[in-house]
Structure 1
Amino acid sequence: MTAYDNIVAHERTTWSLAQVMGRLGWDQETMMPRGAAEQRGEEMAAMEEVLHARRTDPQLGEWLETAEAPDAKGEAILRHVRRSYQRNTRVPAKLAAELARVTSVAQGTWAEARARDDVAHFLPTLTRVIDLKREEASALAQNGDLYDALLNDYEPGITGAEIGAIFGRMRTRLVALREKVLGSAKQPAPLIGEFNREGQLRLTRQLAETFGYDLSHGRVDLAVHPFSSGSGADVRITTRVNETDPFNCFYSTIHEVGHACYEQNIDADYRFSPLGEGVSMGVHESQSRIYENQLGRSRAFTGWLHGAMTHEFGDLGMDRDAFFGAVNRVQPGFIRTEADEVHYNLHIMMRFDLERALIAGDLQPADLEAAWNDRFFKDFGVAVDRPSHGMLQDVHWSVGLFGYFPTYSLGNVYAGCLMKALRKDLVGIDTALAEGKPTVATAWLREKLQQHGGLREPRDTIAHACGFEPSEGPLLDYLEAKFGELYGV
């Protein structure tokens, strides 16, 4: 076997073990008994030790020195493996295992603190996680920017400074749009009523399949925080139910289906290799966001959803135009995952600034709650009423995902570009959406982007699909047109 063949074989086993570890994480969020948290932490640490040893195996380094790729696919595989090897050899195995152990237990501690609205219960754990992530960032950065070193795990090829510049350009237009919308005399009414759990879950599964999710290779379960997990032939999603807010369930589902379909639709020849997964979290989020927002919240598709909900729950008390307004109401709420399209990126910008400060050491964990509340009031004009609506609402920091948050807004930016290109190619897309056939659009995404997995770098992936370089312009144009028309501004 050549050095390249040995690398491919080595990666096949590593990829498979990583999928097993991901399944442990899925189980922890959905099925695991609460009392098993400590044991699961040890199990996750053990798996991380095995994976870290494989990813830093000196033999792998020797193969990389002489490996020659047979084709473009092989070149992409070697690019990913080299990046992974360089990253992992900089992080001591003991630190990697300790991070896996601590963040596994921290997840349960966060959930308890969130349920009790008890920041003090979470602070010691959060402080430990941040200390470990700073230690990891120091090992990775090699005297460079700590935050950039962590960001590279989720969105290779971009820096915090570049993201800050993008967000700075977005903020001005978003704030202006928000002020116009909230100041408009035309304010859509909310959907009011009780929508039973069983009906929501039935329609949830229908929506998942309507958007192309293959349930023969997936599952829909319930969790505190909706997520997608897995790749290839086993890709699972979760959602949550609120009987007075069915949109929470339905749009969380469509969002996670976007993630899941990306993974399910990657070329099967790429499985068991670094190409067999989404190329970055920003690109991943572009899929969940375009499914949820540009497609799922469009006037055309909400017309179909109005009919589906009427069939399931009876008269909704509003016509299709009013329903479109209810789905897209702009309100300065506390919860990021429930935020409308106008406010969502402001939630992300706040988290981005706060976590950069935490990693830089400019903000201490003990001061995070006050910093969060001050910034939220400044950006949204509403005082945070309790910690579960503030710094305790997201799971990300408890599991060490520093550098992850900005990829949500990058995903929105990418989705804006993709929708611009999609509408150019699919002139009749609104007719298909009105008939409940978003798979016309999702097939375009599968062909242009999803099937290619990790073949290209993140921004190159978007540029290849769209035919132009990504920028924030198409997203902002879309938001101003949609909400300008809806609110008459």
Structure 2
Amino acid sequence: MATTSEDVESTYEAFIDHVKRLHYVGDAGGVLQWDQQVMMPDAGTPARAKQSSAISTLHHELLTDDQLAGWLDELGDADLDAEQEAVVREVRRDHERAVRVPSDLVERLSEASSNALPVWKEAKADDDFDAFADTLREMVDLRREYAEAIDPDRDPYEVLFEEYEPYLGIDTAEAVLTTLREELVPLIDDIAASDVTLASPFEGTYDDDTQHALVEAALDTLGYDWDRGRLDTAPHPFSTGTQFDARVTTRFTPDDPLDALGSTIHEFGHATYTQGLPREEYGTPLGDNRDLSVHESQSRFWENHVGRSRPFWDLFAPTVNDHLGTDATPREFYEAANEVYDDNLIRVEADELTYHMHIVLRFEIERDLIRGDLEVEEVPQVWNDKMEQYLGVRPDTDAEGCLQDIHWTNGAIGYFPTYSLGSVLAAQLAHHVDADVDDFDGTVRAGEFGPIHEWLTEHIHRHGARYTTDDLIEEATGEAFSADYFVEYADEKYRDLYDC
């Protein structure tokens, strides 16, 4: 037990050196995953699976190391400052979860995830769920085993959810999803009954190079730091990296350039959060993001409260017209960016409102899979039934149904609720940014995004994982997490657009 300040300092220095090595290994694994989805040739999977497995096993060994456990015990009763206490809290939580999981299970999970990716790609391309069923069954079984290892006495889905959002709680997630279902469905029904038709300024198709130049221009406009990032394409858009290297990916739909533009702005939000983390704290929780609800709030803030706003289209409409050869007004682009679709099959192409019904559907299915209340072979039928129930459409193929997402392929079960939690938090943050930034709309319209970046960095990014999620929200906004802002924002915006 450390008893003097010198002993505590020495212990903490040894502890933090170990923590940094742990983070560096994890980040190296992230680069391997990025490469597999973006650059790696298809035939590289067998070697990549072994490489990723080795990295995951090494990371697990560092996180469960007996010496780390000893340092955590010594520092538990030590007189630490607030930032040191936060680091110890975050590492202790990860350590206590990881130490319960056997190394061979970590290795099997990593290898299974790498092997699953090409199986999913081929099954989706061939519209063949049966070709993916055994892979999904293996992943569900492994994630059940993982949850049971951490805590056999608790709901396994709750244990998995806490992997992505450790502090808000599954009860909060379920309450938010219930609120959104209850509040948004009547609004969506009123929009469907409206006789208003929003503008559709795009005709024909737009090649990848043209769209690539357009989304690059969007990233330039919003203030993406190219010295610490890059843009690529991937089957499923994502962002990954560190404050020194935060990359974004997008994908192009020939007849819908707003798809690529929206997904790029979304991933920009993730990347600008990552780029805004304190550089001097890299390798520690103080230089790491505050989990996925907060991360998603940053992407949704930029995608929805900036990229789908009328002031943004006042700014960006000429750029779109120049790149695509269109001749539309800012109002027409604004309407097109906010259309609520009646044929909403694909989550990543969904509008801002019906998107959350996609999340409810996935949440219910993956929860029931993990709890053993749903068999893998039942997924396509249940998926299609829920699509019809919640969204009024029924997929004709599994490729546009239960095979459309990558998340279950890489074992990210419990992840989906954070999308809606993040959207709700984005609206709460947007309310306070609007109140604190002088003439928010004028700032966006002028393309002067510096004050917005500064607000988000000051209130969110610079803190890393110093605060728990709920405490960070209190610190940033002065109030508790609430879905009220999102409900009010959605109701006001869409009833105005659709005159309903």
TM-score above 0.5, yes or no: yes
Question: Paired residue for 1:201?
Answer: 212
Residue of structure 2 equivalent to 1:78: 88
Q: Quick check: 214-223 or 192-201, which moved more?
A: 192-201
- Taking only aligned residues, the RMSD between alpha carbons, in angstroms, comes to 1.2
Q: TM-score, normalised by structure 1?
A: 0.98
> Out of 176, 196, 221, which is 1:210 matched to?
221
Counterparts of 2:79 and 2:124, CA distance in 1: 49
> Are positions 1:120 and 2:130 aligned together?
yes
1:25-424 map, 5 Å: 25-67=33-75, 68=78, 70-193=80-203, 194-316=205-327, 318-332=328-342, 333-424=344-435
In structure 2, C-alpha distance between the alignment counterparts of 1:341 and 1:483, rounded to whole Å: 10
SS of 1:158 mapped into structure 2: coil
Deviations 1:370-396 (A, max 9, x none): 110000001111111111111000000
| Structure 1 position 2 matched with structure 2 position 10 | yes
Runs of 4+ in 1 over 6 A off after TM superposition: none
- Give the SS at the match of 2:249: strand
Report the Cα distance in structure 1 between the residues aligned to 2:481 and 2:170, rounded to whole angstroms. Answer: 17
Aligned residues: 488
CA distance in 1, matches of 2:146, 2:83: 31
Q: CA deviation at 1:142?
A: 3.1
Aligned-partner residue type, residue 354 of structure 1: I
d(CA) in 1 for partners of 2:302, 2:450: 10
Contact 1:14 1:51 in 2 (8 A): yes
State the shift of 1:9 in Å.
0.3
List runs of 5+ in structure 2 lacking aligned partners. 1-8
Distance 1:376 1:235 in 2: 34
Other-structure match for 2:27: 19
Q: CA deviation at 1:196?
A: 2.9
Q: Distance in 1 between matches of 2:169 and 2:363?
A: 12
| Structure 1 Cα separation of the partners of residues 58 and 164 of structure 2 | 22
Which residue of structure 1 aligns with residue 5 of structure 2?
none
Structure 1: gaps (5+ residues): none
What is the SS of the residue equivalent to 2:99? helix
Change (3 A) 1:191 1:55: same
Write the deviation string for residues 222-242 of structure 1: whole angstroms up to 9, x where unpaired: 100000011120111111112
**Matched residue SS, 1:397:** coil
Supply the AA of the counterpart residue of 1:110.
W
CA distance in 2, matches of 1:109, 1:147: 25
CA offset at residue 17 of structure 1?
1.1
**Counterparts of 1:101 and 1:56 in 2: how far apart (Å)?**
20
Output the CA distance in 1 between the equivalents of 2:438 and 2:224.
Answer: 24
Shift of residue 315 of structure 1?
2.9
Conserved in 2, the CA contact under 8 Å of 1:69 and 1:78? no
Could you list the per-position Cα deviations for residues 244-277 of structure 1 after superposition, in whole angstroms to 9, with x for gaps in the alignment? 1111111111100100111111112221112222
C-alpha deviation, 1:342, in angstroms: 1.1
Q: Distance in 2 between matches of 1:166 and 1:342?
A: 14
1:437 counterpart SS class: coil
SS of equivalent residue, structure 1 residue 342: coil
Give the AA of the match of 2:428. C
- Cα distance in structure 2, aligned partners of 1:329 and 1:403: 29
| Matched letter for residue 54 of structure 2 | A
Cα pair 1:3 1:64 within 8 Å, conserved = no
Check conservation: 2:202, 2:326, Cα contact below 8 A: no
Quote the offset at 1:439 in angstroms.
3.6
Secondary structure of the residue aligned to 2:247 is strand
Offset, 1:69:
5.8
Measured in 2, the distance between the counterparts of 1:112 and 1:426 equals 48
Mean Cα deviation higher: 160-169 or 108-117? 160-169
So what's the TM-score if we normalise by structure 2? 0.95
Distance 1:454 1:472 in 2: 22
Question: What amino acid maps onto 1:276 in structure 2?
Answer: G
Question: SS in structure 1 opposite 2:448?
Answer: coil
Q: Is 1:211–1:442's contact at 8 Å kept on the other side of the alignment?
A: no
1:41·1:105 contact (CA, 8 Å) conserved in 2?
yes
Distance 1:215 1:72 in 2: 34
Per the TM alignment, residue 208 of structure 1 is displaced from its structure 2 partner at its CA by: 1.5
* Identity across matched positions, percent: 36
Task: Tell me the CA shift for residue 278 of structure 1.
Answer: 1.1
Partner of 2:6: none
2:3 aligned partner: none
Q: Which of the numbers 478, 484, 498 marks the counterpart of 1:487? A: 498
Q: What SS is found at the alignment partner of 1:230? A: strand
Give the corresponding residue for 1:444.
Answer: 455
CA contact (8 A) 1:197 1:243 kept: yes
Name the amino acid aligned to 1:383. R
Q: Distance in 2 between matches of 1:239 and 1:186?
A: 31
User: What is the CA deviation profile of residues 425-470 of structure 1, one whole-angstrom value per residue up to 9, with x for unaligned ones?
Assistant: 1241111211233343222111111111111011211221112111
